[in-house]
Amino acid sequence: GLQADFGIMLSWAIKEAGGEIHHDHITKEDIEKAKPGQEDKRLVASLVKELSRYDRIITHYGNDFRYDVPFIRTRAVAMRIPFPHYGTLKHSDTFPILKKKFRLSRNRQETAARTLIGHTEKDHLDGATWRAAARGNAKAIKYIVNHNLKDVRDLERLWNAISPYVKIGGTSL
């Protein structure tokens, strides 16, 4: 569910540069007690609070016109959760760096990690797992959380491999 007017957030993970991973996930209680369309409100609020700890975030295909940031911003604004305003948090995206500075068959994070780092922890989500997690299935939620943890570890390694080839600017979230 990557369209924020229909989908909900199931999990998030942020890895501090060289440090630990912070994460949260939806619970069956969140789903059962929330108003329709606000099942992920607690989760979105916890992510926005976590974002306030950083001066820059790194995503892959997550900047404007893409997925992560517009989705999170939309969910937060729709539920009246204060989202960081323009200029308060810097953002870098590995996708445009790969597209401009490297030549890969696909600019997916997984392809870049395999090619430039030599491996990936990436696993794949199927629709059945996603839907089960959205209904509060604990096993499916655990799978998605583990998927996200692997994803942020890969992203950090990818960022470290490609960031020396670009000027790191001050793009705002």
pLDDT tens-digit readout, 32-53: 999 999 999 999 999 999 999 9
Q: How far apart are CA 48 and CA 39, in angstroms?
A: 16
Tokens of 34: 């929330």
Q: Is the pLDDT of residue 120 over 90?
A: yes
Mean pLDDT of the residues in the chain: 95
* H helix or E strand, kind and range, residue 22: strand 21-25
Percent of the chain with pLDDT over 90: 91
Q: Is the pLDDT of residue 84 over 80?
A: yes
Q: 3-class DSSP state for residue 93? A: strand
Average pLDDT over residues 108-133: 95
Angle (deg, nearest 10), helices 94-101 and 138-162: 40
pLDDT on residue 1: 66
Phi, psi of 152 (to 5 degrees): -70, -30
Average pLDDT over residues 58-76: 91
pTM of the model: 0.94
Q: Is the pLDDT of residue 26 over 90?
A: yes
Q: Is the pLDDT of residue 2 over 90?
A: no
